[in-house]
Structure 1
Amino acid sequence: HYGAAPDPRTGPPARARDTWELALIRAALEAGVPLLGICRGMQLLNVALGGTLVQHIDGHAEVPGVFGHHAVKPVPGTVYGDLAPEETSVPTFHHQAVDRLGEGLLASAHASDGTVEAVELPGPPWVLGVQWHPEMGTDLRVMRGLVAAASAR
Structure 2
Amino acid sequence: MKFNWGTGVIIAFIGFISFIMYFVISMNTNKKYDHDLVTDDYYKQELEFQNDIDKQKNGNNLTENITWQKTNEGILLHFPKTLKAQDITGKVFLYRPSNKQLDFDIPLSLSNQYLLIPDNRLLDGRWNIKVDWQYNGKSYLYKKEIVY
With structure 1 as the length reference, what TM-score do the two structures score? 0.27
Structure with the higher fraction of residues in helix conformation: 2
Instruction: Please say which structure displays the higher CA radius of gyration.
Output: 2
With structure 2 as the length reference, what TM-score do the two structures score? 0.27
